[in-house]
Amino acid sequence: MQVRTIITGHRGFIGSHLIKVFDNYVGYDLKDGADILDRDELEKLFNYFKPEVVIHLAAKTGVPESWEKKKEYFDTNIIGTGNILEMCDKYKVGKLIYASSSSVYTADQHQSPYGISKTCAEYLFNAYPSLNYSIMRFFNVYGLRGRCVVSRFFEEMKHNMCLEVNGTGKQKRYFTYIDDIVNAICNIIPAKNKIVDVRGNELTSVNEIIDNLERVFLRKATIIYKDIPEEKGVYSKYEKEFNFNMIPTNLWTGIQNYNLKWTEEVK
């Protein structure tokens, strides 16, 4: 893709897959010392590169850690996103794509600091009515170098490790293969959607994930069910899903593709 693009968080999980399909991009990532809280550096970048599109992936992620580092999450995910909005508005960027999360749907009494930070960041967009943007709410993305339960269990089974399951394993979520995320981001650039969900097409339990992994690895998993309360997944109504010109990858196909890419990368 030739469009002039800034990708924040390009060295993270999603970013590392996304940059493979962009030819004319500049990455901006904390791993390189580039902080979205640094307005002066952002100003220099936007003024020099004059982006047509900005894809804002940079964020503090992960629910458990957010309880211990609330300020870091609020600073990065809210103030940092505000800085990106300011730059996009000032430099008349043609399209801003923001990576949000299904955590915004969690009922108030169960919402983590991470979920709160993503929800607050979404509200900031209301202050920029002239800005052309799309907010994409990603649901439990898995794939090579991922962090969600599918990726964690995949890596553990690859290395013959024991799988630890909180609760009964019957809790269900939507899971989304990384290639679908990349495809959706690319296809939403010319679209007019404001808020969209990007997710798999069926709810899947943790036990079903393990069943699929056992089929891929042709062996039974060693599982410890821990007597820990299951994470609540209480969602309100979903926004209209974005038709990104493909059928979402089902879990079985996604895990097979994951295994092939893992093997290729190791080689």
Domains of the chain by start residue, with CATH? 1-138 (3.40.50.720)
Q: Is 66 exposed, middle or buried (0-12, 13-18, 19+ CB in 10 A)?
A: buried
pLDDT of residue 114: 93
User: What's residue 229's pLDDT?
Assistant: 59
Give the pair of three-digit tokens for residue 211: 């069943």
Rounded Cα distance between 266 and 256, Å, is 16
pTM of the model: 0.92
Q: At which residue do the structure tokens 């895990």 appear?
A: 255
Q: What is the distance between the alpha carbons of residues 156 and 150, in angstroms, rounded to a whole number?
A: 10
**DSSP-based three-state secondary structure for 6:** strand
Distance CA 5, CA 180 (A): 20
Q: Is 164 helix (H, G, I), strand (E, B) or coil?
A: strand
DSSP summary character for residue 110: G
Please identify which residue in the block is written with the tokens 């999360």: 101
By the 8 A CB rule, do 200 and 250 touch?
yes
* DSSP 8-state assignment for residue 235: B
Per-residue pLDDT in tens (0 to 9) along the chain, 267 residues: 889 999 999 999 999 999 999 999 999 999 999 999 999 999 999 999 999 999 999 999 988 889 999 999 999 999 999 999 999 999 999 999 999 999 898 756 568 899 999 999 999 999 999 999 999 999 999 999 998 999 999 999 999 999 999 888 998 899 999 999 999 999 999 988 789 989 888 899 999 999 999 999 999 999 999 876 555 444 444 445 555 556 789 999 999 999 999 988 865
* Catalytic residue IDs: 114
Pairing of strands 53-56, 25-28: unpaired
Computed from CA positions of residues 188, 193, 194, 196, in that sequence, does the dihedral angle turn out positive or negative?
negative
